[in-house]
């Protein structure tokens, strides 16, 4: 089954879920039904309740879109982890970006969902409304084009995202160097997901029994980086993004846990090769060194970030503009840190829906389309109420 194209199915999956065009819906329903049987069987062999964590915002969407939580046995709990790159970006980085925008010294190029993340004293959106030169881009290459088109104006790209998007930033920097650009800069907050997973396994306030590992990140990094997590007793299954993909990953995790095994498995074999993408990793290695990085809610984690190597240092906005990223606490009342650790469900935050909504977000987890709170808010209706569900987001994916 793992290599089959899959889509939505199951009693709660039929409404509002995207159906893969290549697979008839009846087949998908049968597939989901079979997977739920496997899940039920494996769960009955467990010694007690288990918690599985997904660390990818697109998986969080698939789980909510398919109503998967409601389909699982009571003893199987799904937790959402730090899978949203905008959400895990530290408050101090947001503040530094706002300060740079307000200074007027550069054009900032950023993904749209970064605009609305509340900083300590404002947001990029407010800075833009007050006249700061901030452009929304869909990729780093757009930012590079902007720099080419405005050679006398510095352009700073806010580089957030995991190993999925970091190679594109590396390619853009190679191109900038080859073209001799002197007005293109990167304010880097790229992150590596596996060190965060390892940090979570040592977390005092959340117990995780296994991980649904991210699909797009794994296209780049392959399977080997997850081995230390599995050796530590938490099995990992790399999963695709249809609800039946996630169901199969859950079945594989529960079967391993019931058998007392902890391994790395690949459910998403139609896209992820065991060795990943060596070319993309070579780009990363050529441009970035691995360094400690600060994560919202998780603090500093060793080897979880990237820093520009010496030969690319002239593109580093921190050096070029003397930017200091100073650690800053979350806004009063914001519980995003706990949500990102899986220690709190979005609805358990007192501000959820009262003082924090997608229209008026109080924390980043409500802003981003990959944020747990925003997803929980968008899918807050009962699973059977398909009219309350938004249409699947085209082009969604990990960054």
Residue 120 CB, shortest distance to ligand SF4, in Å, is: 14
Q: Give the residue with the Cβ less far from ligand SF4, 86 or 155.
A: 86
Burial code (b: 16+ CB inside 10 Å, e: under 16) for 279-288 equals ebbebbeebb
Going across the sheet that includes 50-54, the strands are 76-80, 50-54, 210-213, 236-238, 264-266
Rounded CA separation 276/263 (Å): 17
Candidate ranges 319-327, 348-356, 381-389, 391-399; the one touching ligand SF4 (CB under 6 A): 348-356
| Interacting residues with ligand SF4 between 307 and 336 (CB under 6 A) | 334-336
Q: Which residue is nearest to ligand SF4 (CB)?
A: 363
Q: Which of 193, 190, 189 is nearest to 94 (CA)?
A: 189
Rounded CA separation 185/321 (Å): 10
| Interacting residues with ligand SF4 between 369 and 388 (CB under 6 A) | 373
Which three-class secondary structure state does DSSP give residue 108? strand
Residue 108 CB, shortest distance to ligand SF4, in Å, is: 23
Work out whether 39 is an interface residue with ligand SF4 (CB under 6 A).
no
Q: Give the residue with the Cβ less far from ligand SF4, 171 or 373.
A: 373
Q: By CB under 6 A, name the one of 115, 156, 197, 351 that touches ligand SF4.
A: 351
Which three-class secondary structure state does DSSP give residue 295? strand
Work out whether 356 is an interface residue with ligand SF4 (CB under 6 A).
yes
Work out whether 349 is an interface residue with ligand SF4 (CB under 6 A).
yes
Work out whether 363 is an interface residue with ligand SF4 (CB under 6 A).
yes
Q: Give the residue with the Cβ less far from ligand SF4, 123 or 267.
A: 123
Q: Which of 160, 166, 146 is nearest to 114 (CA)?
A: 160
Residue 376 CB, shortest distance to ligand SF4, in Å, is: 8
Work out whether 83 is an interface residue with ligand SF4 (CB under 6 A).
no
The residues with which 79 forms a beta bridge, in sequence order, are 53
Q: What is the four-CA torsion angle of 167, 173, 177, 183, rounded to 10 degrees?
A: 170
Binding residues for ligand SF4, per CB under 6 A? Answer: 334-336, 339, 346, 349, 351-352, 356, 362-363, 365-366, 373
């Amino acid at each position: 089954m793992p290599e089959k194209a899959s889509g939505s199915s199951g009693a709660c999956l039929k409404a509002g879920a995207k159906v893969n065009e290549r697979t008839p819906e009846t087949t998908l329903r049968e597939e989901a039904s079979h997977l739920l049987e496997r899940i039920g069987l494996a769960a009955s062999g467990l010694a007690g309740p288990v918690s599985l964590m997904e660390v990818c915002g697109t998986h969080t969407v698939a789980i909510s879109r398919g109503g998967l939580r409601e389909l699982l046995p009571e003893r199987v709990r799904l937790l959402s982890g730090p899978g949203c790159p905008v959400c895990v970006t530290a408050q101090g980085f947001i503040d530094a970006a706002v300060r740079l925008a307000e200074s007027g010294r550069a054009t900032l190029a950023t993904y749209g969902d970064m605009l609305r993340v509340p900083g300590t004293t404002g947001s990029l959106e407010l800075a833009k409304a007050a006249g700061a030169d901030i452009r929304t881009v869909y990729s780093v290459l757009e930012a590079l084009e902007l720099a080419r088109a405005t050679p006398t104006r510095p352009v700073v790209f806010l580089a957030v995202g995991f190993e999925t998007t970091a190679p594109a930033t590396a390619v853009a920097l190679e191109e900038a160097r080859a073209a001799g650009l002197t007005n293109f800069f990167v304010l880097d907050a790229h992150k590596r997901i596996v060190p965060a997973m390892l940090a979570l396994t040592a977390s005092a306030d959340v117990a995780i029994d296994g991980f649904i590992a991210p699909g797009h990140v794994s296209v780049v990094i392959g399977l080997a980086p997850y081995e230390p997590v599995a050796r530590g007793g938490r099995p990992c299954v790399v999963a695709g993004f249809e609800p039946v993909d996630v169901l199969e990953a859950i079945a594989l995790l529960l079967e391993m846990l019931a058998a007392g095994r902890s391994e790395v498995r690949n459910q998403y074999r139609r896209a992820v090769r065991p060795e990943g993408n060596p070319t993309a990793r070579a780009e990363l290695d050529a441009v970035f060194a691995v360094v400690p990085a600060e994560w919202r809610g998780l603090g500093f984690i060793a080897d979880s970030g990237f820093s520009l190597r010496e030969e690319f240092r002239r593109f580093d906005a921190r050096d070029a503009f003397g930017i200091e990223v100073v650690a800053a606490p979350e806004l009063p009342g914001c519980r995003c840190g706990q949500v990102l650790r899986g220690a709190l469900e979005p609805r358990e935050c007192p501000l959820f829906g009262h003082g924090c909504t997608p229209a008026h977000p109080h924390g980043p987890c409500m802003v981003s389309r990959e944020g747990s709170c925003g997803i929980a808010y968008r899918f807050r209706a009962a699973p059977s109420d398909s009219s309350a569900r938004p249409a699947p987001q085209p082009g969604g994916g990990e960054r």
